[in-house]
Structure 1
Amino acid sequence: MAMIVCPHCGEQVSEKAKKCVHCGAILIPEEKKHCMECGAELEEGVTECPNCGCPVDDTLGQEADEKPQKVEVTGVKVTKKLKTVIGIIVALMIIGSVTAVAITEYQKKKEAKEYAQRVEEYSDNLELATFTMLSGAGDAESSANLIKQVWYNAIYEKQDDETDKYTKPDGYFVSDFNDALGNLYSDESFSRKISSIKDNQDTVGGLMKELKNPPDEYKEAYDALSVFYEAYISLTNCAIDPSGSLQTYSSSFNDADTNTLNAYKSMELYLDD
């Protein structure tokens, strides 16, 4: 065992002496004890940490490597417990981020599915409106042709097996073509046909309202359908409510009939095969 000189009194003492036996000066300061849980400095003789309440081990502070490890993070001492809390927070942030991404993807898929269903429904209604108009236009065309024929035969007293019952119901021609047209519209079969055309107009009108706001890929199709609808209305009105002279009526009917046919041909481009 080596001897050293006390720096306070100059007497020789053991190098392992904690204080000088001659003058009582402290030669080796006592190691401070620290809490293993929170790292707080402990006073001599305490049995539990005054900071966190953790029981104090008698061996605390004996060796430097037994002291709680401390990590400096931007100037803040992070203990084992705090590191655990930070780890949990980071994990929750990652989970939250992943969950947000998953929700966004789910919402996108849901919206895409709803849009696809809307497009499919729109396509079905587009075809339904087109073929409903085509049916009504066909009935209107045959009815208007009969109106024009009755009108003409009444004026020019032309006999015809199909029109005689309207133009000469009593065996001789009526004096006014309006009487012949009145006989035609009073006919039960023709009256039912006109009522059917009116119902067709109502149905088509409802479908056109549903088709009013088309998806982007059907905007051109809707424009073509609108042109078809205008021609269809003109044609069906010729059957429902004929007006003007025979010449103007015939001209209006022929124009409406031609426009309806051409509009339908344009509309065919947008229909599924």
Structure 2
Amino acid sequence: MKRILILLAFSMLVLAGCGSANAAEYRDSIEDVSEQIIDNSADVETLLGYYTVIWKFSIENSNPIPVSDMANFTGMDEDTVREHFEINVAGNVTNDFTSNVNSLKSYYESIGDIGQIEEVADEIKGKISDLNDPPKDYEKVYEELLILYDLSEEFKEMLINPSGNLQTFSQNINDLSGEITSKNKRIEVIMPSDD
């Protein structure tokens, strides 16, 4: 009987230790995914910022834009501008902001920036799916992580399908960026300590 009690006590200690190891691993995984979401969202925000700059530049130009001006403005060479932007019969870039934003999107797709963002987003989705059975102390953290993920997906969608007008588009970028930052801070605050 004494052996059984000792064995039972030992088993409980081992299981308790495994539980804390699993919780520590879970915490590390949550922190990793949160950081990945923030980094990917920062990449999205950078490209969205370029969209708004081109959008504004296109609106401010009441005439078609010489290829050399668009090249200077974007930092692209003239051949790259001709390849991705709509060129009118006079050889200039149209001043149509929708066309120019979509042309910039096409450029980012061709150099792999958007593909890389989508690839990381898919990886994040898989990691979040793997975390869908949180330890009890991490249930609220996981719920917040899901909200952070949804916000980042909404942000990515703005990159894939830019729409609206410049003012609302810019406001949506600022709002989502702020919400993502706030949600990440909330996750950090409610994360159980690793003691």
Q: Does TM-score exceed 0.5, indicating one fold?
A: yes
Q: Which has the higher helix share?
A: 2
1:230 counterpart letter in structure 2: D
**Deviation string for 1:90-132 (max 9, x for gaps)?**
xxxxxxx223323322331232122122111101101100110
Q: Does 1:112 align with 2:30?
A: no
Residue 117 of structure 1 aligns to which amino acid in structure 2?
A
SS of 2:73's partner is: coil
Equivalences, count: 177
CA distance in 2, matches of 1:185, 1:241: 9
Alignment of 1:233-272 (within 5 A): 233-269=153-189, 270=191
Given the superposition, is the C-alpha separation of residues 237 and 262 from structure 1 closer, same or farther in structure 2, using an over 3 Å criterion? same
Structure ranking higher on relative contact order (CA contacts 8 Å, 6+ apart): 2
Q: Show the 5 A alignment for 1:13-162.
A: 97-157=1-61, 161-162=72-73
**Aligned counterparts of 1:162 and 1:126: Cα–Cα separation in 2:** 40
- The 1:272–1:110 alpha-carbon spacing in structure 2 relative to 1, beyond 3 Å, is closer
The 2-side partners of 1:188 and 1:240 are apart by 10
Is residue 198–residue 240 contact of structure 1 (8 Å, CA) maintained in 2?
no
Q: Distance in 2 between matches of 1:216 and 1:195?
A: 36
- 1:271 and 1:203 map into 2 onto residues whose CA distance is 25
TM-score (norm 1): 0.56
In structure 2, which of residues 99, 110, 115 is the aligned counterpart of residue 179 of structure 1?
A: 99
Distance verdict in 2 for CA 1:271–1:261, change over 3 Å = farther
CA distance in 1, matches of 2:40, 2:154: 12
Look up the SS of the partner of 1:162 in the other structure. helix
Larger radius of gyration: 1
CA distance in 1, matches of 2:146, 2:13: 33
Q: Aligned partners of 2:192, 2:3: CA distance in 1, in Å?
A: 43
Contact 2:151 2:179 in 1 (8 A): yes
* C-alpha separation in 1, matches of 2:175 and 2:129: 26
* Aligned-partner Cα distance in 2 for 1:181–1:198: 19
Match of 2:115 among 186, 195, 214: 195
Distance of 1:271 and 1:229 partners within structure 2:
20
> Structure 2: any 5+ residue segments left out of the alignment?
63-68
Amino acid at match of 1:225: L
Structure 1 counterpart of 2:65: none
Unaligned 5+ runs, structure 1: 1-96
- The question of whether the paired residues in 1 share the 8 Å contact of 2:148 and 2:183 is answered with yes
CA contact (8 A) 1:129 1:207 kept: yes
| 1:122/1:211 contact within 8 Å kept | yes
The residue correspondences of 1:163-178 to structure 2 (distance < 5 A) are: 163=74, 172-178=92-98
- 8 Å CA contact 2:58–2:97 kept in 1: the answer is yes
* CA drift at 1:188: 5.5
